[in-house]
Amino acid sequence: MMTTGVLFVAHGSLLSAANQELFDLIEAVKARGTYALVEPAFLEGASPSLPEGLSTCVAKGADKVVVIPYFLLLGKHVTDDLPRAIAAAKERFPPVEFVQGEHLSFSERLGAAVLSRIRETGVLQWEAESAERGERHGSDGDV
């Protein structure tokens, strides 16, 4: 039976609270029970490192490791650093398949989450609600 590991990779921070968000995500994914093996990794500033995360997945029996970049925007880490680390893991663990997924990027659900965060501030509540109703307002406030 093939075991697929999922490795979420975040930037990493010297602030432990920032890194905790990834650990919370890992626990939430594990709790769903969809994937038997889910691990975290960070590119810098926190542990486990990306090479450590890849090695952990293999050590826990993964025949395939899906690397999910936990990055909102496409940048050097996603386009260069991750592929380079995955290539090194392929050389180190030839029988294991490594696949890089897409970074988070924009989606309708993400857009809705951003709008929700704006509403949570309570600022511009009227504008947000009227925009949802399809009302348009000029700079002078007229409908």
* Tens of pLDDT, residues 2-43: 899 999 999 999 999 999 999 999 999 999 999 989 999 999
pLDDT digits (tens, 9 = 90+) for 49-78: 999 999 999 999 999 999 999 999 999 999
Write down the pLDDT at residue 46. Answer: 96
Shared domain for 27 and 96, answered yes or no, is: yes
Task: Say how many C-beta atoms besides its own lie within 10 A of residue 65's C-beta.
Answer: 27
77: containing domain: 4-100
Write down the pLDDT at residue 123. Answer: 78
More confident residue, 130 or 1: 1
Could you give the CA distance from residue 61 to residue 40 in angstroms, rounded to a whole number?
Answer: 16
Shared domain for 36 and 68, answered yes or no, is: yes
Of the candidates 133, 72, 66, the residue with the CA atom closest to the CA atom of residue 107: 72
Shared domain for 128 and 142, answered yes or no, is: yes
Write down the pLDDT at residue 129. Answer: 65
Shared domain for 62 and 90, answered yes or no, is: yes
More confident residue, 103 or 1: 103
Q: What DSSP character marks residue 49?
A: B
Looking at the chain, the whole-number percentage of residues with pLDDT higher than 90 is 78
Shared domain for 53 and 15, answered yes or no, is: yes
The per-residue pLDDT of the chain, averaged, comes to 90
Shared domain for 32 and 92, answered yes or no, is: yes
Write down the pLDDT at residue 122. Answer: 85
Write down the pLDDT at residue 133. Answer: 73
Q: Inform me whether the pLDDT recorded for 102 exceeds 70.
A: yes
Domains of the chain: total? 2
* Token pair belonging to 99: 């696949």
Write down the pLDDT at residue 127. Answer: 65
Shared domain for 136 and 84, answered yes or no, is: no
Write down the pLDDT at residue 134. Answer: 72
* Token pair belonging to 53: 């995360």
